[in-house]
Structure 1
């Protein structure tokens, strides 16, 4: 028993050394060889398992596809950011974590007994009627659309653009200070007579937004506030359009047009003059103190400092501060679409939609 525990410790230590090594010094050939080796091992391992053929075939196919995707990822990211140490190391960390994907697949299928997905036999295929195919036509079309969306979203240009932007972010310190001008606050204060604040929920089509949508499965992945119906005072947490540092920034409607089917939904929420002033004053305080986009918080759901937020977290915090929040949820868990979907008491009034 002691020998077994000792052997496991040696194996775990070796694995940790390997992962640290490839993260710090790994290059494209090393990652590709590792991916292919793990895939080959998992395929051979699967062929020897006591599993039905209808389970083995999808597993082997999955390992093959994963290996291709892993190699494509490594080829497009490893070594592409040599001028930015942080982004380069982050890409290696992600690439190293991807080595474990085949093991996760096996665990998901075998350990959790999820063997209920399989490729149909020839006999089963023959029993599928044309009527069934006709009834499932829309489902098949949606599935193909979903596959094409994933393929476009994970294209090398999108991934490279997203990773190249990572070095501009910080989840631990304030990097944006004073991006909102005195003119902006003059415009905001001029709207105090307007008895509404406006929620702007957008489908911008940016590379980061498209990748986020793969995980949220939502079309709209950005939330902003505006103090006027004409959207001259839009503000939110964003990437700064490579003009300002990521954090609290003013926005323009034109900047939401990053793809052909981009769209913006505008809702109004009734507020008092005092409540609106509270939000404006808080934004002015954040602008003066400093801010940063909570990139890490998209995963961890927490902020290390008060003014480090992401877009929907910011909007929810402002509404809560002014006591006009209409649903209860931890700020770090709020998604842009929650402002619409969780409006059980019909506090919002739809104003209009912008299509580009």
Structure 2
């Protein structure tokens, strides 16, 4: 815990705070037409992919110190090759905090970073519903729910953190396989609360 909550990590998180907002949408239209074209091309694959990661980012390491969990970020993808990874994050100092596309480089922020990929069977209608919801959020705007990590509350619907976002998408699409308040869901819940074995492990990525 002492190693994770280092002075450098704390400084990085505190320096990043002014970029965030708990009450207004600050991320608008970050997802490009190319992203949606790629996602639409994957609609015939009747699975959604859950990407649970141990990225090594300062925020992830601090969260890990308190949760005592190795994996502290979760994302969704429409394809098995992870060309369409999406989640709520801090924007990696490139985009505003909120709903952003991700790539494998995003997960490699320490030498022992790792990624677990699981698939969840869905219908094409359910997968299309999730994509339509992403389109709406991208148009309306979003923000990363940094306050919600502690308060477990969102001031507006499109202000979420990663696990809150993934669970909300699954629940709205009718494929959530455990029952929990979205603001209380943590990344490892998607694995640990899979009592009915809805997920299928696909593969692991190590760097």
Q: Same fold (TM over 0.5)?
A: yes
Offset of residue 215 of structure 1: 1.1
Aligned to 1:191: 42
Structure number with higher relative contact order (C-alpha < 8 Å, ≥ 6 residues apart): 2
Aligned to 2:19: 168
Q: Distance in 2 between matches of 1:182 and 1:314?
A: 21
Deviating runs (4+, > 4 A) in structure 1?
none
Offset of residue 254 of structure 1: 1.4
> What is the aligned residue count?
207
| CA displacement, residues 7-39 of structure 1 (integer Å, 9 cap, x when unaligned) | xxxxxxxxxxxxxxxxxxxxxxxxxxxxxxxxx
TM-score, with length taken from structure 1:
0.58
Aligned to 1:223: 74
Aligned to 2:104: 253
Aligned to 1:153: 4
Gaps of 5+ in 1: 1-149
- The equivalences for 1:1-356 within 5 A come to 150-356=1-207
Offset of residue 174 of structure 1: 0.3
More helix by share: 1
Determine helix, strand or coil for the equivalent of 1:236. Answer: strand
Q: Pairwise CA RMSD of aligned residues?
A: 0.6
Q: Distance in 1 between matches of 2:85 and 2:130?
A: 13
Q: Distance in 1 between matches of 2:125 and 2:90?
A: 30
Determine helix, strand or coil for the equivalent of 2:42. Answer: coil
Q: Distance in 2 between matches of 1:304 and 1:354?
A: 35
More strand by share: 2
Offset of residue 162 of structure 1: 1.1
| CA displacement, residues 210-261 of structure 1 (integer Å, 9 cap, x when unaligned) | 0011111100000000000000000000000111000000000111001111
Highest Rg: 1 or 2?
Answer: 1
TM-score, with length taken from structure 2:
0.99
Determine helix, strand or coil for the equivalent of 1:220. Answer: coil
Gaps of 5+ in 2: none
Determine helix, strand or coil for the equivalent of 2:100. Answer: strand
